[in-house]
Chains A and B, each alone.
Chain A
Amino acid sequence: MADSNGATENILEAIQVRKEFGGLIAVNDVDFVIPRGSIVSLIGPNGAGKTTFFNILTGVYKPTAGGVIFDGTPVSGLPPHKVTALGMARTFQNIRLFHNMTALENVLVAMHSRVKGGIWRSIFRTPALKREEQEARDRARELLAFSGLPGRDDAFAKNLPYGDQRRLEVARALASGPNLLLLDEPTAGMNPEETANFTEFVAKLRAEHDITVLLIEHDMRVVMGISDRVTVLDYGEKIAEGAPKEVQHDERVIEAYLGSAATS
């Protein structure tokens, strides 16, 4: 829980989070914490409720019961843009870039909650606004270069190759100035080399930008390679949690992935 000066040991705590869609229980009373500065993975078979859980954390869904505390602030029920303003950013499982905007514009949009740029000042284009806009553009270019997209500023997002689109999504998420970055299956569709590069990139993110990362991932090499902790969901319930090695050998996890015959 939050101590007096607001800094918490866990950057995010989900307490007894539950989400029902009609009769379907997508997330069933899950307790979950992300220690500050760690890389945590959320895994589970298809349909285990990982993305639903993600959507609850980021404010897209309101949980049926339970709550989420981010950086000492309760965020369940807040709209996504407010959660983003508090310092949580995400990417999407199926890339959701602004396809008809350039790479640079995509990144600039994500700075929305960080730059002032009011309507009147935009119309009269005050010196302060010009300066701010220039700073935002410089920062956006830096981020694109950092994310492995140097010189692609003016390319329309949809004209970028698939791997670059994934990178742009991360650059865009970083532009919102997050303390916690949520990546939803970031390596889906990548070849082994791209995946290896990406894994390195995530490690670099934590090292250089001091960002905590929550990862939904199917590729076990990625999960086992960079996670400090792994949480396993199955049918909306948390069935295991711990260091990658422990989880790998957990019977319930093996059962969930391979079926009950595998454990007998």
Chain B
Amino acid sequence: MSDQAGPQAPKVQDRSTVSSWRESYRRYRRGHKWLNWAIPLALVLLAFSYPWWGLEGPLAFIFNDGLGIDNDTLFNMSIYVMLALGLNVVVGYAGLLDLGYVAFFALGAYTLGWFGSGLFVNRDIHFLDTNAARLPGIHLSFWVVVLLAGAICAFAGVLIGWPTLRLRGDYLAIVTLGFGEIIPDIFRNGDDIGGHNLTNGVRGLTQLDRPGFGENIHDASGGILPVRYTSLELRPWYFTVLAMMLITVFVNLRLRDSKMGRAWIAVREDEVAASAMGVPLMRTKLWAYAIGAIFGGFAGAIYGSFINGIFPTSFSFQISVIVLVMVIVGGMGNIWGVIAGAMLISWLNFRGLDKIGERIGSLPGVSDDFSIAKYKFGIFGALLVIMMLFRPEGLIPSSRRKAEFAEGEGTATLYDVRT
């Protein structure tokens, strides 16, 4: 059942009319090159200034009060954008259906536990940490821990990918699902591995190190960069995760337009042909998996620190699914689509449904204990079904995906189990 292209009528004509607005937009952008940096810059400034126009200030009544996007929600939304962009490399670019992405999120968080908490209480290792006192345990600088989390996750990605990425399509999905379940289980039972307590088991880890810049940088920056982040002042957290998110976006963009990005898409399209054209399948897939894992690790480390608690139960299969839904709803392979999808779904997940529920609850004739959040997964499921029926290419599809779905002749399977 390989791609029997066969003689097929070119559909150039009708496709160009369908995407005519897109075309004219592209033409406009081509004529105004300065927009290439002006639009991203404006969006970045908008995002960084949110605390001044959305949390407080002129539009707070819509964003903070109406939509419920407060500091907490903002942080969570940014974390999920990072996760979705990481998974986008694996699923959107390389076409590897990964149902166990949460494993890397968890591993990133536990890396913080190992190198930035009092877990190994008998050790006394410190490196540029910004805690107020010299605490027992291993305490590395938070920024070093973030990098370590990325490195450890990349390594774990290669380790897990090595045996599994030989599989295709559904088989790969099932194996990754297995790994997604195994890894939280290892953390749950990791409190006695050969007599060593590596994860503190079900009790989880608390009292985790927080990011910070230390006295010297704090003074040098005129007091702008905090000595250490606290749970009272949440803005630094938001700015930090936003900066990490921007790095993720940047890497996503650059890799999309690189030799590796092309190879990923080629592998997704046709493994046999890609390999015959000189693309090493295993290495190409492992890179996708490792890079996806790195961002999962980054997100995990800062999330663990922000929540100030890491528990095996926090990393459930649900997270894998929700992140995947974000990628699919947003538009697989399109960075802007994935960001939009992640923001929408994570907002619904954390605040939106509650807010909508409140609104409905306050209507006359609706009982006070009406809760829409109870039906969360039902609603997400329904949303996914509706999307698949009416806009399978996602909210903001990549032109490539769009073309794929415009085809409508059976070659447009999302995951290739053929050949």
- What residues of chain A lie closer than 8 Å to B258, measured between beta carbons? 117, 119, 122-123
- What residues of chain B lie closer than 8 Å to A89, measured between beta carbons? 276-277
CB distance from A175 to the nearest CB of B (A): 8
B276 with A105: CB separation less than 8 A: no
Q: Closest residue to A165 on the B side, CB-wise?
A: B5
In the assembled complex, the Cα of A191 lies from the Cα of B114 at a distance in Å of 68
B278 with A122: CB separation less than 8 A: no
CB under 8 Å from chain A, chain B span 1-26: 2-8, 10-12, 15
Contact with B along A154-183 (1 / 0, CB 8 A): 011011111001000000110110000000
A156 with B403, Cβ < 8 A, contacts A85-B278, A97-B5, A162-B8 known: yes
Q: Which of B158-166, B264-272, B375-383 contacts A (4 or more CB under 8 A)?
A: B264-272
- What residues of chain B lie closer than 8 Å to A105, measured between beta carbons? 262, 265
B400 with A100: CB separation less than 8 A: yes
A158 with B274: CB separation less than 8 A: no
- What residues of chain B lie closer than 8 Å to A133, measured between beta carbons? 259
B269 with A99: CB separation less than 8 A: yes
A84 with B277, Cβ < 8 A, contacts A99-B5, A155-B12, A160-B10 known: yes
Q: Which of B72-80, B279-287, B313-321 contacts A (4 or more CB under 8 A)?
A: B279-287
CB distance from B252 to the nearest CB of A (A): 10
B10 with A109: CB separation less than 8 A: no
A186 interfacial contact with B, CB 8 Å:
no
Q: Closest residue to B284 on the A side, CB-wise?
A: A112
- State the main secondary structure of chain B at its contact with A: helix
CB distance from B115 to the nearest CB of A (A): 24
B362 interfacial contact with A, CB 8 Å:
no
Q: Which of A85, A101, A125, A155 contacts B265 (CB 8 A)?
A: A101
The count of chain B contact residues (Cβ–Cβ below 8 Å) is 43
CB distance from A50 to the nearest CB of B (A): 17
A60 with B276, Cβ < 8 A, contacts A98-B266, A117-B259 known: yes
Q: Which of B10, B255, B276, B281 contacts A90 (CB 8 A)?
A: B276
In the assembled complex, the Cα of A85 lies from the Cα of B400 at a distance in Å of 28
- What residues of chain A lie closer than 8 Å to B255, measured between beta carbons? 119, 122-123
A101 with B7, Cβ < 8 A, contacts A79-B280, A84-B277 known: no
Contact with B along A111-128 (1 / 0, CB 8 A): 111110101001111000
CB distance from B398 to the nearest CB of A (A): 9
A150 interfacial contact with B, CB 8 Å:
no
A95 interfacial contact with B, CB 8 Å:
yes
Contact with B along A190-234 (1 / 0, CB 8 A): 000000000000000000000000000000000000000000000
In the assembled complex, the Cα of A46 lies from the Cα of B160 at a distance in Å of 43
- What residues of chain B lie closer than 8 Å to A79, measured between beta carbons? 275, 280-281
In the assembled complex, the Cα of A82 lies from the Cα of B282 at a distance in Å of 12
In the assembled complex, the Cα of A81 lies from the Cα of B280 at a distance in Å of 6
- What residues of chain A lie closer than 8 Å to B274, measured between beta carbons? 98, 109
B254 with A122: CB separation less than 8 A: yes
B273 interfacial contact with A, CB 8 Å:
yes
- A-B residue pairs, 3 tightest by C-beta: A122-B258, A117-B259, A113-B278
Residues on B facing A (Cβ under 8 Å): 2-8, 10-12, 15, 250-251, 254-255, 258-263, 265-266, 269-270, 272-281, 287, 291, 400-401, 403-404, 407, 411
8 A-B contact pairs sorted by A residue (CB < 8 Å): A81-B280, A92-B276, A96-B3, A112-B263, A114-B278, A119-B260, A165-B5, A176-B278
Residues on A facing B (Cβ under 8 Å): 58, 60, 79-82, 84-85, 89-90, 92, 94-101, 105, 108-115, 117, 119, 122-125, 133, 155-156, 158-162, 165, 172-173, 175-176, 189
